[in-house]
């Protein structure tokens, strides 16, 4: 398993040279440690890290925790700008006139 450890150290060093400290990311290091110990195969290590990246990406896609409001919530619909179907002078869709 020394070859696995060597590979992991080279990858970590390559990222460190790019000023990215993946060795400080427990989510990355956990599957790497299992792989270098021979507990999991490289495919499983990649699968686990890919799953972690997807999970992190989904949590960042809604950074303000903005979710649809409940039915019946009081919303001032006049404050919501909805594009009209008429092209503006640039050929794009315009916003309705403010009144």
What is each CA distance from 60 to 46, 51, 55, in whole angstroms? 21, 14, 9
What's the rounded Cα separation, in Å, for the pair 58 and 50?
12
What is the token pair recorded at 6? 């060597």
3-state secondary structure of 37: coil
pLDDT digits 0-9 by tens, 30-82: 999 999 999 999 999 999 989 988 888 887 765 555 555 555 556 555 555 55
What's the rounded Cα separation, in Å, for the pair 45 and 43?
5
Asked if pLDDT for residue 13 goes beyond 70, the answer is: yes
Task: Write down the pLDDT at residue 60.
Answer: 73
What's the rounded Cα separation, in Å, for the pair 6 and 10?
6
């Amino acid at each position: 398993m020394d070859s696995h450890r060597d590979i992991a150290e080279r990858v970590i060093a390559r990222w460190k040279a790019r000023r990215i400290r993946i060795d400080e990311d427990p989510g990355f290091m956990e599957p790497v440690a299992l792989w270098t110990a021979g507990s999991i195969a490289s495919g499983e290590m990649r699968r686990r890290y890919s799953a972690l990246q997807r999970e992190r990406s989904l949590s960042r896609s809604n950074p303000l925790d903005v979710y649809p409001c409940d039915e019946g919530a009081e919303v001032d619909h006049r404050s919501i700008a909805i594009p009209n179907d008429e092209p503006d002078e640039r050929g794009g869709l315009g916003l309705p006139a403010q009144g």
